Amino acid sequence: MGWGNISAREMVHRFWQGTAAGGYVGHGETYLNPDAILWWSKGGVLHGESAPRLAFLRALLE
């Protein structure tokens, strides 16, 4: 499986594993944007199925 080619479920699983192990995990998106803005360099709104799941993990940690 190549870079950027994992399912939302697998990515969230990796976040949980990394967090439980005491690591710091991060996420960057590379979806094509109509304004040609890359999320990982400018920020913005996350898209896809993983965003609400990652928000849940964050809420547990805060």
Domain ranges of the chain: 33-62
The arithmetic mean of pLDDT across residues 32-48, rounded, is: 70
Does the pLDDT of residue 21 top 60, yes or no?
yes
The more confident residue out of 6 and 16 is 16
Does the pLDDT of residue 50 top 80, yes or no?
yes
Q: What is the mean pLDDT of the chain?
A: 81
Torsion sign, CA atoms 15, 20, 23, 24: positive
pTM beyond cutoff 0.85: no
